[in-house]
Amino acid sequence: MRKTRRHRGIGSLLHRVGAGLCVATTATLLGLSPAAAQTTAPPGYFDQVQDQGGEAQVEADMLTYDSATDTIAAEGRAVLIYQGHHVQADQLRYNRVTGRMTATGNVIIVAPDGNEYEADSIEVSGGIKQAFVRSLTLRTAQGELITAGDADYASELQTTLVDASYSPCGLCVDSKGRKIGWRIYAAKIVQDKKGKVIYLDQPTIEVLGVPVAWVPWLALPDPTVRSAQFRMPRYSRSDKLGHRLETPFFVPIGEDIDLLLSPSLMTRQGFLMGAEWEQRFDYGRFNVKGAGIYQLDPSAFTPGIGDTTWRGGATASGEFVPLEDWTVGFSYTAFTDAAFFRDYEISTAKGAVNEVYATYLADDYYADLRIQKFNALGDVTWADQAKQVMTLPNIKATSYTNLDDWGQVKLSARVMGIQRGLDSTATYGGVPYVLGYQENKVHGTLEASWQNQYVTPVGVVATPYLGLRGDYASYDGASPLSPAPVSLFSATPIAAMDIRYPMIATNGLDSHLFEPIAQLVYRGSSTTLPGIINDNAQSFVFDDTNLFSYDRFTGTD
């Protein structure tokens, strides 16, 4: 018996067909959490459900088709919702030959009146079965939505979606109820794997809820087949570049090697050639991307930075898993000038990090070792790049030890060596700030903490916390702004008590959690000396994500 993961094939089909028609997708179905079951479902329960038209909502981890038995199955946290009836099971199986549909494995049924039933296996019949056959809803992890009035898996070589639609933005409605994004509709989409052709019957493209293009019939090469082909052209216009047309061309060098050529023609600057090489291994991946141009009008760009004839840039990255629990990798960015990537709309990033790293991650232990050089991107001169930091090294480690009923002990350590060639200063609101000295600095931290959770008979949750942090830092006094070498040692005691009283309300279908929280925290004052600058904790973050955190700074400094 052979099974095909149809949710992946259909998603890939619509994703790449849409690249030809402004569509992108893969389909991985989501599951829903179970409700609490109470009684056994009465015999013939589903015979009472009338087919009143409309669509049923079907969600599962995987949709499969068995060509040998002509059976469609939704597997893994499968959920079927129709006319107020909720059916959840490990598997929903429909046999197209016998017309029999069954729900098996941890079956939970919620009727419209709120009554809940449970069963090991039950036959699904009546209108709810017809709705399942008629309607499919596939939602990807990225929020993309695929719907079809009917899906016909005629054979392993042909898939037909009837009354199909695809939208990369899900329902494509914003918080104010307005239509956003775009979607595509087709009366029928047929994927002929033998002929390697995709047929679309009456495809329509809709933008912001308004149909903008329609053709009666369209045939496209099957994009799920790896072959050399042009990708969707891209057009843009800007004052610096003029009118720009990019025509990407994909070349599959091998089963695990891809080459993407991206030539661009611009009315003001001329011809830009870009290329990307991606290679995948059993234990990792490797990627190189670059672009270059001879500019026809250098005066369009910032003087002293981008006003040269030849400009270009390249990036390289790789990540590998040489041993269990270990990940090693690197990234590197090179450029003729820091503004190249932004000027030619290759990247909008404000910075790039050249680094090599090794990471170890186990159940109760984490360690990360990096050597990094930070680069600013944008209208930045080479002299300003000397203000950026090189970390040699940047090491952090954390371990957790569970003491069963006695709580949990956490140990963490951080060692960071800082090298900077020039002072980094700025003025905000007329006030001068030193963001970092010209320096060679080492900063090490070691922190130990203990916490435990106690639950009282009335449901109050109390969590005491005790911790101690030690810091050592040394600065060599290389900056004219702070010429004296400085060393610093400090110890910071931490004590906290967190008290919560969670309360939950449920009506059988959903639940609401209300949890008052009170927290008292003490942190001993730290010692500050001139020359010791916070390099990785200069911003103070206070929002709902760290409202009850014992440390609201963004780094260890």
pLDDT computed for residue 398 by the predictor = 95
Could you tell me which residue, 336 or 528, shows the higher pLDDT? 336
Give the residue among 507, 506, 433, 445 at the shortest CA–CA distance from 470. 445
pLDDT band at 288 (very low <50, low <70, confident <90, very high): very high
Q: Which of 86-95, 166-175, 465-474 has the lowest mean pLDDT?
A: 166-175
Give the E-state strand segments of 310-407 in sequence order. Answer: 310-320, 326-335, 351-361, 365-376, 389-402
Could you tell me which residue, 104 or 120, shows the higher pLDDT? 104
Average pLDDT, rounded, for the chain: 79
Task: Dig out the tokens for 397 from the structure.
Answer: 């480690």
Query: Alpha carbon of 121 to those of 88, 103, 116, 338, 341: distances in Å?
Result: 11, 6, 15, 64, 59
Q: For the segment 221-242, what is each residue's pLDDT rounded down to a tens digit?
A: 665 567 788 877 888 899 999 9
pLDDT computed for residue 274 by the predictor = 96
Could you tell me which residue, 424 or 10, shows the higher pLDDT? 424
Site of tokens 């069954």: 102
pLDDT band at 1 (very low <50, low <70, confident <90, very high): very low
Query: Alpha carbon of 205 to those of 20, 183, 188: distances in Å?
Result: 11, 6, 14
Q: For the segment 453-509, what is each residue's pLDDT rounded down to a tens digit?
A: 999 999 999 999 999 999 898 888 888 888 888 888 888 899 999 999 999 888 777
Give the residue among 141, 116, 114 at the shortest CA–CA distance from 30. 141
Q: For the segment 246-279, what is each residue's pLDDT rounded down to a tens digit?
A: 999 999 898 889 999 999 999 999 999 999 999 9
Q: Which of 14-18, 143-147, 323-327, 391-395 has the lowest mean pLDDT?
A: 14-18
Question: Concatenated DSSP letters for 103-139?
Answer: EEEEEEEE-TTS-EEEEEEEEE-HHHHHHHHH-EEEE
pTM: 0.62
pLDDT band at 35 (very low <50, low <70, confident <90, very high): very low
Could you tell me which residue, 99 or 548, shows the higher pLDDT? 548
Q: In the chain, what are the domain boundaries?
A: 3-221, 227-352, 425-557
Q: Is the pLDDT of residue 38 over 70?
A: no
Say if strands 39-40 and 116-124 run parallel, antiparallel, or are unpaired: parallel
